[in-house]
Amino acid sequence: VSAVDITFIDVCGDEIEPDTEIKVSLTSTDIPVEEKPVVVHVDNEGQAEMVEAKTEGENVVFESDKFSVYVIVGTETITTQFTTGDGSTYEVVVSFDKEAGIPENAKLEVSEVTEADTDYYEYVSRTADAVDSNITDLNYIKLLDIKIIDENGNKVALNAPVDVQIRLLDTEETNYVQVVHFAESTKVEVIDPSVDVNTVCFETSGFSIYAIVDLEEEDHVARVQYTFQNSDGSSFEFLDASGNK
């Protein structure tokens, strides 16, 4: 991690801010460009915000019209590509920093849960329930078992969230993609990822089974449950014209 405090001053020595965004180029010998560094802006009130940046040669480049402290954080990646029995190919990339606690020489392992697995249809059913849909409305679903193992073959537990990028190389068009994470317990987490063509990106704090599901956007209806109570906290009851509940 490297931090710099960038300030502009006028001829009178007063601090000023530019009227428009300007291009900033930073480099740090502590963070190789190969680690895909990210830039975080910390304002004068201590609020942190990630800045969209890119690498140009050995420099990290971004644009901004707000200046104070900028922090460059180095990240590392683990990538794997695998092909399933039906010929589908996937590329999975995990990006992380040192806080994640992933040891050196760790490997990313990805396998697919298929119809040949006894719990496949249970996962499919639970996925449909999690995204408030029917199984028949799932245009596309892939169940991936993702994990990171150390050099001794032991599964690595994450100490901090990591970024996951999955390229679904067997599909070219997506409609409404969601990710459902089945934790080691019975907990089910629905993740709304960012999607760029056939690439799905999301953040996670742990690995296990993930369902990548694609729905028709118009078929996805958000369900909202309302609870009505009387002023004394008792349940409110609706009656029809005949006085029936």
Report mean pLDDT in 10-residue bins for the chain, 245 residues: 80 85 78 61 77 77 85 77 77 85 89 90 91 83 91 91 82 74 81 80 89 69 48 61 62
Q: What is the pLDDT of residue 216?
A: 65
Name the strands in the sheet holding 38-42, side by side, starting at the edge strand that comes first in the sequence.
Answer: 2-5, 69-73, 38-42, 48-51
Return the structure tokens found at 168.
């679904």
Task: Kindly write down the DSSP assignment for every residue of 134-190, as one continuous string.
Answer: -GGGEEEEEEEEEEEE-TTSPBPPPSS-EEEEEEETT-S--SEEEEEEE-SSS-EEE
Confidence (pLDDT) at 124? 92
pLDDT for 238: 58
pTM higher than 0.85: no
